[in-house]
Structure 1
Amino acid sequence: MLRRAPELPRAVNDRLNRLATSVFTSIDANDPKRTNNLHSKQSRIEIDYSSSLPLQMLLYFNVCFFPCWLFSLTFVLPVLAVTSSNQHVILMVFAFVFKAIIEFVRLYLGYAGNLAERMPELTAFCLLTIIFQLPLSVFLLIYQLLAKMQVQLALVFAVEIIYITFLVLQMIFGILAVRIMVTAQSSRFHYQQFEEALPTNENVSPSG
């Protein structure tokens, strides 16, 4: 039996929920005009699932590529230590290690948020992608040129270009998934209210 992944703390959940509804979507989730036809069969089918298949495919390939990226570091770091100054080595190693640690957390949040339809985790996944991983990947891609290092590491360019492609696509589909999830959760809430109010309305006899 598969165990349910642990959820984020309640305070973090609430803040990420507010951030998702205010930043990643411009639609009012409580607008009653969008919930007029929730009693229809098609509407009930559309709000059953809000996970993103393209995002999940990107996460799967990202998980497969991540060990290759880690394995490439075993070739890069010794070369940096031999051919570059201590300052360059410290910056590159710090960026590699920091990115690897964040990537473990980011991929977990992406899987938990998309498959389990958890909006806080998916919002945190988008924030980590935008704030940390994209800048770190761009830094690792261009730092060799800016620092005028003696040895240009083609392996770093190759893996970081692939990673940046993953990150940009995941950022786009992740934000779209958050927007869909906000709408779907709001629709489920209003549909539940409609289902609860329907028996009450049927029991009330018509006036006059």
Structure 2
Amino acid sequence: MELADTLRKRLEDFSRNVLFEQSRSPPFAGENDKRVLSSLHLQMSLYFNMWFFPLWWISESVMLHLKYPALPDYYKFILVTVLILMTLIEAIRLFLGYAGNLQEKVPELAGFWLLSILLQLPLILFQLLNEAILIQPLERGVHIVLAMFILTQALSGFVALRDMVRHTQSQFHLRQPLLGGMKEIR
């Protein structure tokens, strides 16, 4: 009985002192602010996209090989170029997305977002909507899934980027009076 009471008292002390320490005093919004700014939605979308992209690449390569003889020469060149560009851009884009989101780095996340909006989205929409390239049913399916990944990542990447920029801006404004006061002392 006495052992159970001492054990209960130690657990209560532990939970009060360690687990609920932050709830007693409000956190200082300055240098001790350790909020996580990474976006879970963006990270999940990047993770699933990383596993889906090889499937997309294989199906796109096989479909291009099958329909290659039936395509006009200019579309042969365009589709091979688009496949190579999308492969390179997607590898860079996923790397920047991971680094920018997990490490909470604004430049990497901005680069990810720009690559998504300015390059990947137009290229996938070209492949999805241009009927002259003889779109096969498998291609249409994998293009729709990749387009949904890119749109989801563009939206959640924008929100994550906005939050990180606002946080960085508030950190800068919190440090601004300190720097101004130091100039007056000199």
Which TM-score band applies after superposition, normalised by the shorter structure?
A: 0.7 to 0.9
- If asked which structure has higher relative contact order (CA below 8 Å, sep 6+), I would say 1
What TM-score, normalized by structure 1, do the two folds share? 0.67
Say which SS state the counterpart of residue 41 (structure 1) adopts: coil
- Indicate the residue corresponding to 2:166 in structure 1: 183
Larger proportion of helix: 2
- Equivalent pairs counted in the alignment come to 155
Percent of aligned pairs sharing the same letter: 37
Q: Cα deviation per residue 1:91-124 (whole Å; 9 max; x = unaligned)?
A: 1111111111100000000000000000000001
The yes-or-no answer on 1:114 pairing with 2:101 is yes
1:41 aligns with 2:27: yes
Q: Does 1:90 align with 2:63?
A: no
Deviations 1:99-151 (A, max 9, x none): 111000000000000000000000010100000000000000122x1x2x5x5
User: What's the counterpart of residue 147 of structure 2?
Assistant: 164
Q: CA 1:106–1:42 in structure 2 vs 1: closer, same or farther (change >3 Å)?
A: same
The separation in 2 between residues aligned to 1:73 and 1:163, in whole angstroms, is: 12
**Structure 1 gaps, min length 5:** 1-38, 201-208
Please show how residues 125-136 of structure 1 align to structure 2 within 5 Å.
Answer: 125-136=112-123
Instruction: For residues 10-37 of structure 1, give each alpha carbon's deviation from its aligned partner in whole angstroms, at most 9, with x where no partner exists.
Output: xxxxxxxxxxxxxxxxxxxxxxxxxxxx
CA contact (8 A) 1:110 1:125 kept: yes
- Equivalent of 1:78 in 65, 87, 112: 65
The structure whose Rg is larger is 2
1:152–1:187 Cα change, 3 Å: closer
CA displacement at 1:42 relative to structure 2: 7.5
Aligned counterparts of 2:159 and 2:135: Cα–Cα separation in 1: 37
- Across the aligned residues of Structure 1 and Structure 2, the Cα RMSD in angstroms comes to 2.4
Kindly state the Cα deviation for residue 170 of structure 1 after the two structures are TM-superposed.
0.6
